[in-house]
Amino acid sequence: SDLSNAEMGTEKRVTTPLTEEAIAALQAGDSVLLSGVIYTARDKAHKLLTETLAAGKELPVDLCNQLIYYVGPAPAKPGQPIGSCGPTTSSRMDSYAPMLIRQAGLKGMLGKGPRSQEVIAAMKENKAVYLAAIGGTGVAISHAVKKAEVIAYEELGTCAIRRLEVEDLPCIVAIDCEGNNLYEQGIAQYRRD
């Protein structure tokens, strides 16, 4: 069956840092054009971030009201700020994300694939959102990146934390702050048909 526009969600423009109002307005299934500053980090960087928090030390980047994109970008071609930067499978960050949400104030995550119940619980408690980038679109996503710079853990190479300035980066709300989950809704939709 064809999904109505209401079921598929609507397109929304979101600018970082993320506000409670912006997060509350996002519903699972909404298309988002994301602009502003976002940070990149994968599992190695997440491990270092959570170890830093556990030790009671200050993080190398203030994640309060910020969004982390799970990506290890390819090297930039001459004249470009970043290379291809498709999303990493988000479940690799599931053991670290709840601590960053609860203790560092992280409000948004961007990646691909489902999340654990622990991550979803932390999102609901702390009003955070999980966005999905479309897999296989790393080159297209790179065009939304206007500036990129390594700001922490340079020794991790492609997995270092980068500060990106993005403009109209396309993504979808996969799990909203109420815990509505596009991955589950999609399965339920197919079961009904």
How much is the pLDDT for 6?
39
pLDDT digits (tens, 9 = 90+) for 19-77: 999 999 999 999 999 999 999 999 999 999 999 999 999 999 999 999 999 999 998 98
Selected residue with higher pLDDT from 72 and 6? 72
Please give the Cα distance from 111 to 42 (Å, whole number): 10
Write phi, then psi, for 14 (nearest 5 degrees).
Answer: -130, 135
Residue 46 confidence (pLDDT): 98
Mean pLDDT, all residues of the chain: 91
CA distance 76 to 149: 11
Mean pLDDT of 113-117: 96
Residue showing tokens 């990493």: 88
Residue 13 has pLDDT above 50, yes or no: yes
Cα 12 to Cα 25: distance, rounded to the nearest angstrom: 9
- Taking the C-alpha atoms of residue 193 and residue 100, their distance in angstroms, rounded to an integer, is 39
Q: Are 179 and 186 in contact (CB under 8 A)?
A: no
Please work out, in degrees rounded to the nearest 5, the angle formed at the alpha carbon of residue 159 by the alpha carbons of 115 and 61.
Answer: 80
Task: Name the least confident of 138-142, 150-154, 160-164.
Answer: 138-142
**pLDDT for residue 187:** 60
How confident is the model over 96-106, as pLDDT tens digits?
A: 999 999 999 99
Q: What is the pLDDT of residue 11?
A: 86
